[in-house]
Amino acid sequence: MKSSAPYRTGQRLPLEGGAQLRLSVNPRARRISIRIDARAGEAVAVAPSERRLSDAVTFARSKADWIAERLSARPSGTALVPGAVIPFRGGTAVLEATGGAGSARLVEGGDGFRIVSGGEGEAFARRVVNLLKRLARETLTERTQVHLTALGQGPVTLGINDPTSRWGSCSPMSRSIRYSWRVVMAPPAVLDYLAAHEVAHLVHADHSPAYWSVVHRLVGDHRPFRAWLRQHGGDLHAVGR
């Protein structure tokens, strides 16, 4: 039977001021909310059901000025070129060309981190991203295992990708966890929180008080880590854009 709902998840609508709104349904959501997708350059209205998308649109339209302000303040892209400085493990890393066609590698010295790589243009950028993905997989695999062990959980399938907004996702039924490689640029404690956040969903699939109690057991007060991602996540999504 065809749905009579006026809006559908994934639909995009224009807002006053030129901003674009994407509609999204998340059955885990307890209320209607608006978030800014810095990577896509649009606002996202989240509703707990498709039936509530009309309310989400109305709410978003009432926040059009706030949305326009947030979108205009989002970070500009950071090209992955020699000489660029990118966030890395809570600090920064300088990108350096070595000539030739060698793979990118991480160098740590007294002056901080450097990522040195061969290649030119897109090839240089691709090597840098491949290195960051590899480092993300190594670190997230380690921290995920730490939290799995702490909760007495068995192994999971771990994936690294580049979602437009979410930092991670967990599928308890298939026991699979996916992470954004970009979190390797965040402080180690934030990355560790993300691993704990997703592993805790193997115990509780929702975001109930019981779920947050599991997260607290693993990493303590999670609020500073979530706040860091809200404040600086746009900078991480800007890298390579």
Q: What is the pLDDT of residues 23-56, one digit of tens each?
A: 999 888 888 999 887 667 788 999 999 899 999 9
3-state secondary structure the chain: CCCCCCCCCCCEEECCCCCEEEEEECCCCCCCEEEEECCCCEEEEEECCHHHHHHHHHHHHHCHHHHHHHHHCCCCCECCCCCCEEEECCEEEEEEECCCCCCCEEEEECCEEEEEECCCCHHHHHHHHHHHHHHHHHHHHHHHHHHHHHCCCCCCEEEEECCCCCCEEEECCCCEEEEEHHHHHCCHHHHHHHHHHHHHCCCCCCCCHHHHHHHHHHHCCCHHHHHHHHHHHHHHHHECC
pLDDT digits (tens, 9 = 90+) for 98-135: 988 899 999 988 778 999 999 999 999 999 999 999 99
pLDDT digits (tens, 9 = 90+) for 140-190: 999 999 999 999 999 999 999 998 768 999 999 999 999 999 999 999 999
Q: What is the mean pLDDT of residues 200-217?
A: 94
How high is the pLDDT of residue 235? 85
Q: Are 12 and 22 contacting, i.e. CB atoms less than 8 angstroms apart?
A: yes
Q: What is the mean pLDDT of residues 205-233?
A: 93
How high is the pLDDT of residue 74? 66
